[in-house]
Chain A
Amino acid sequence: MTDISAENAALIPAPQKPVVRGYWGNVWNKLRYDYVTLFFLGLIIAIILIAILAPWIAPFDPNKSSMASRLKPPGFKHFVLGTDEQGRDILSRIIWGGRTSLLMGISPVLFATIIGGLFGVLAGFAGGRTNTAIMRTMDVFFAFPSVLLAVAISGSLGSGMVNQMITLTIVLIPPICRVAETATAQVRTMDFIDAARASGAKTPSILFRHVLVNVMSPVLVYASTLVSASILLASGLSFLGLGVAPPTPDWGLMLSTLRQSIYVQPLVCALPGVAILVTSVAFNLVSDGLRQAMDVKA
């Protein structure tokens, strides 16, 4: 065997050294060629930047009305996207409205992920009575359609930004909790948990090092799909008058008030809806892309 390998050594090309990347390196490498996700990721970053920089970007004060130029079409004078029923600049209001809408999209999901995720992991890992107690409580919330639940909670808490946030968080906790519970129950029966126990790991160490880390990626991906749902739900609440109070610019609220003028100026009325649509589609597609990129086994 040695003589052959010596002869052929020169003929065999030196093995190419494979690149070793970390977890996030792998994620980025997969994401790099996913142009759709990259595009919408860029769009989300742009929307967030615009919302943050609203005071400097918005051409007009979003609350300054003018009786002379009400419900004008896009391109009227210096109003690029037209004006609403009180003569306020639509573009400025959409830019400012992004602040409330994004806040309503992201922060309830964040809180719900932390609370629901914790309860879910606890239920999945402990099993037995703890599981029953937590999951059956969640089932009670599942019995109501999410919009109805949101309306009911929001109705009893009253309108306003903080109350809307609390409402959305409560509505989003059960689905996240269920996903976390399912993922935990799955991970708990895997051999590597037994293997960790067999190598002397204590329960907290197993919970934090092995269970939580493995549960995190499905929960985070699921949570990211909820951002768009949360924006829509928040807009819906504002539309019904249960969310932020006028005259604060908010996409849902704008849609609600412009609704009455739909026969007068249909294009302008649709614009806040377009903003909601674009943002939620962007969040949905990015979370899809992330799910694929973050799957370790793919």
Chain B
Amino acid sequence: MADTNNPTPPKRPLVEVRDLNVNFVSREATVRAVNGVSFDVMPGEVLCIIGESGSGKSVTMRSLMQLHPKKRTRITGSMRVGDHDIMALSDKEMNAVRGRVISMVFQEPMTALDPVYTIGDQIAETVMRHEGVSKAAAMERALELMQMVKVPSPERRLKAYPHELSGGLRQRAMMAVALSCRPALLLADEPTTALDATVQIQVLIVLRKLQEQFGMGVIFVTHDLGVAAQIADKVAVMYAGRIIEYGSVKDVLLKPKHPYTLGLMASTVHGQNRDQDIDAIPGSPPDMRFLAPGCSFAPRCKLAQPECLASFPEPNDHGNGHMSRCFRTAATTPAMEMGIA
């Protein structure tokens, strides 16, 4: 992805994930949650992973943080964040990376904060753990962070318990915890899904601003295309544990090449006539326990042909880093123009 016209040497990506496979093993079955995912995130870049429930978005992110239970998870491939080879780290080293180099914002602000401690205590806990400062200094830092994430009257909110705050404030408090040690990479697992639309945009604005200010890399998981359009630099579309389309936000959302992305775009509300039904993609995602060898989307795809069921397509390059994995890419563009996909 090196830009040859740029006189400065190409920067090394902050995150490099290569051929990541995550399988959940139980006595009855093996769930192939992630199948050969590769992507890069440059420092100061926001990558949005889009996909429906069960497409492997969250699993990919949790793998980056080694949050899966070891006994039941088989992970192969390579992951590098900064100078850390995630797969090679010991538990102890991983603990030092978590929260300091990589940190995470969770989906449910209701349950992601411990109900028995005040917000201030929870922020201070992380600061004290990684920087070994006194409680008083940590609380000062907590106050600073609360101001940074734009919590009104932060002094009072520091002493509040999570249940005393609204969802939006809680999510900001969660962000304050995540940002407390200035991580190089922030993982955000649908952080705005549980919030209503007005609060959602406020949280996104704060997140984007802080991301620019800190120069953080962000991996943002969502199933909301609107949110992705607002925050992303790059977009990766996942389906059945694979990235099926990847590129800049403009390329992917405006010139989608994969029939699945096309279908996603068609199923959003965008000024259709009142009486017109929204196009939905027929069928449902495949069972991850029994994945067929071919393109996983083929059974639901209007453009599918026999070859689609035989093998999984190799990446097609559409220029400018825009990639899609589909045999029928040539057919998708006319399909979009006809508005039928």
Contacts and interface: CB of A to CB of B under 8 A. Distances in A.
A192 B111 contact: yes
Given A198-B98, A200-B99, A200-B126, A192 B112 contact: yes
Contacts of B103: 198-199
A198 B114 contact: no
Contact of A296 (B95, B100, B115): B115
A224 B116 CA distance: 20
Interface string B104-145: 101110011111110000000110011000000000000000
B74 interface: no
Q: Identify whether the interface residues of A are mostly helix, strand, loop, or mixed.
A: helix
B159 A199 contact: no
Contact of A20 (B98, B116, B129, B160): B160
Given A23-B116, A192-B111, A297-B115, A197 B98 contact: yes
A296 B99 contact: no
Interface string B43-71: 00000000000000000000001010001
B129 A200 contact: yes
A210 B114 contact: yes
Given A20-B160, A191-B106, A200 B112 contact: no
B51 to A, nearest CB: 20
Contacts of B160: 20
Interface size class of A (residues with CB under 8 A): 20 to 34
A199 B178 contact: yes
A209 B125 contact: yes
B159 A20 contact: yes
Given A20-B160, A200-B100, A296-B161, A192 B178 contact: no
B115 A214 contact: yes
Contacts of B115: 192, 214, 296-297
A202 to B, nearest CB: 6
B106 A195 contact: yes
B116 A196 contact: no
A259 B130 CA distance: 68
B233 to A, nearest CB: 23
B209 interface: no
B156 interface: yes
A196 B113 CA distance: 9
A34 interface: no
Given A23-B116, A194-B67, A297-B163, A199 B111 contact: no
A198 B125 contact: no
A201 interface: yes
A105 B265 CA distance: 67
A199 B112 contact: no
A18 B25 CA distance: 51
Nearest to B101: A200
A190 interface: yes
A128 B27 CA distance: 14
Given A197-B67, A197-B98, A296-B163, A192 B130 contact: no
Interface in A1-28: 17-18, 20, 23
Q: Which has the most chain B C-beta neighbours within 10 Å: A18, A200, A297? A: A200
A194 B61 CA distance: 13
B108 A199 contact: no
A213 interface: yes
B129 A199 contact: yes
A201 to B, nearest CB: 7
Contact of A195 (B97, B130, B177): B177
A297 B107 CA distance: 20
A195 B170 CA distance: 14
A23 B108 CA distance: 23
Contacts of B161: 23, 296
B156 A200 contact: no
Given A191-B112, A192-B114, 11 more contacts: A17-B156, A195-B113, A198-B98, A199-B180, A200-B130, A201-B99, A201-B129, A213-B114, A213-B117, A214-B116, A297-B163
Nearest first, the 8 A-B pairs at minimum CB distance are A200-B99, A199-B99, A191-B112, A200-B98, A198-B104, A191-B111, A192-B114, A199-B126
Interface of B: 65, 67, 71, 95-100, 103-104, 106-108, 111-117, 125-126, 129-130, 156, 159-161, 163, 174, 177-178, 180
7 contacts: A20-B160, A192-B111, A198-B99, A198-B103, A199-B98, A199-B104, A200-B95
Interface of A: 17-18, 20, 23, 128, 190-192, 194-202, 205, 209-210, 213-214, 296-297
